[in-house]
Amino acid sequence: MRFNRTHNIDEIKLDMIGQKVILGGWVEDLRKLGKMTFLTIRDVTGIAQVIVKGELNAQIENLNRQSVLRISGTIQGTKAKDFDYEVNAEKIEVLAKAIHPLPIDPLGRLESNIDTRLNSRAIDMRNQKTASIFKLRHHVLSSIRKTLIEKKFIEINTPKIIGSASEGGANLFSLDYFGKTAYLAQSPQLYKEQMTIGLERVFEIASFYRAEKSHTGRHLAEFTSVDIEAAFMDYTDVMSILESLILDVYKFTSINCKEEQKIIGHEIKVRSSPFERITYSNVFDEVKAAGVKLEFGDDLLDSHLRIVGEKHPGFYFITDWPLKLKPFYTREKDDDPSLSRSFDLQYGYLELSSGGTRLHDSEVLKSRLREQGLDPAQFVDHLKAFDWGMPPHAGWGLGLERLMMTLTGIDNVREVILYPRDPDRLTP
């Protein structure tokens, strides 16, 4: 048996009155009025009203909402105020039956908590707000790829199962690999740097893993990272790329995701450039001015960033961090080697991205590894590449889910990833 449809619901236009169509989708609502049933059916593109008359009603007797139907019928005008047309059913096939009650109400008339929704994610996706978040996410990804490809970046895929810790041992998941210990990659850092040798400008969009026992609205054990690395660039160059990527995403989605914004209930406002660039030193002064005890060189904690975020509500960069706060591969500043050529992109209190200019001299890199208490012997495979013509390079990693939080105005990262992994959630 074939299950073809002649049209998606959004392809039906008023000038098709009198035409026969075959639709397929999920029953959203059923209302019986005497010998007639008003049925609404939804596919991923829209919703249509179907009129079921006479004997055909036997087909949908006792049918629950969210059951899957294929309906053949004729388009006709309607008096219904929510629809421009209706479908007069001639044949109805029940392709799958849904149970009643469902674990959650996909119409959202009965509110369910986030845990119940995540436990029933497939049916949660029939909730139009949830579906809109993931349609938006799809458009965000396509906009990101478009921008990076236009800027001559080449998309790569680096390994997720790795033999040694890429950025030091903390926060790594380990697993048994044919009797050896392997780890899940926490970032593509070392591989993307190596790829600047042959490909110069690379990007990767992939899942990475952090064994962080964080219970926050912004940390996941498995998250999606957008990474770039580029030869012959400095941190200011890759900051400009990041800024135009964010501007492009906001512009593209504000224009192309009107329906999604309406359903999510959050307007995407086109952003203006340039984003404010504030040094760590300035941020330090701002935090101190708020009466908080902080030493120059201390990392900025959530509580500090909340203060800074109050003053800078939109996108802004924090640049020139103390070198010791940044990973071993970060390059120092020429005029003050205690500071680094680095930045974080913030949205208010929320960190979206970290990046910088990288070291490309293997001797300096080795001594930085030692300074940070890491063993260069653990990094031989990586260090080798630095003797094969490593160009100066810079890059960043951007958390896709964090970017989605800014676009949707939702402050729980679990809402914007399909099946979140956190310390309390490994299934479904």
Contact 29, 40 (CB under 8 A): yes
The 3 state secondary structure assigned to 235-246 is HHHHHHHHHHHH
**Nearest distance in Å: CB 209, ligand ATP:** 9
Out of ligand ATP, Mn ion, none, what residue 402 binds, judged by CB under 5 to 8 A for its kind, is: ligand ATP
Contacts for 69 with CB less than 8 Å, ≥ 6 apart: 24, 25, 26, 27, 41, 60, 92, 93, 94, 95
Rule CB under 5 A: say whether 147 interacts with Mn ion. no
Check the CA dihedral 99-264-317-297 and report its sign.
Answer: negative
**Nearest distance in Å: CB 98, Mn ion:** 44
**Nearest distance in Å: CB 399, Mn ion:** 9
Out of Mn ion, ligand ATP, none, what residue 210 binds, judged by CB under 5 to 8 A for its kind, is: ligand ATP
Q: Which is nearer to ligand ATP, 87 or 405 (CB)?
A: 405
> Interior CA angle at 387 toward 381 and 388, to 5°?
95
Phi, psi of 144 (to 5 degrees): -60, -45
Rule CB under 5 A: say whether 224 interacts with Mn ion. no
- Return the residues of window 339-358 that contact Mn ion according to CB under 5 A: 354
Instruction: Catalog residues that contact ligand ATP under the rule CB under 6 A.
Output: 210, 212, 219-220, 223, 225, 351-354, 397, 399, 401-402
Rule CB under 5 A: say whether 225 interacts with Mn ion. no
Rule CB under 5 A: say whether 189 interacts with Mn ion. no
The tokens 């929704």 sit on which residue? 117
CA distance 388 to 83: 66
Q: Which is nearer to ligand ATP, 299 or 336 (CB)?
A: 299
Rule CB under 5 A: say whether 261 interacts with Mn ion. no
Query: Minimal CB distance to ligand ATP: which residue?
Result: 399
**Nearest distance in Å: CB 149, ligand ATP:** 21
ω before 391 within 30° of 0 (cis)? no
**Nearest distance in Å: CB 172, Mn ion:** 16
**Nearest distance in Å: CB 220, ligand ATP:** 4
Check the CA dihedral 382-386-391-394 and report its sign.
Answer: positive
The residues of the shown chain that bind Mn ion, judged by CB under 5 A, are 354
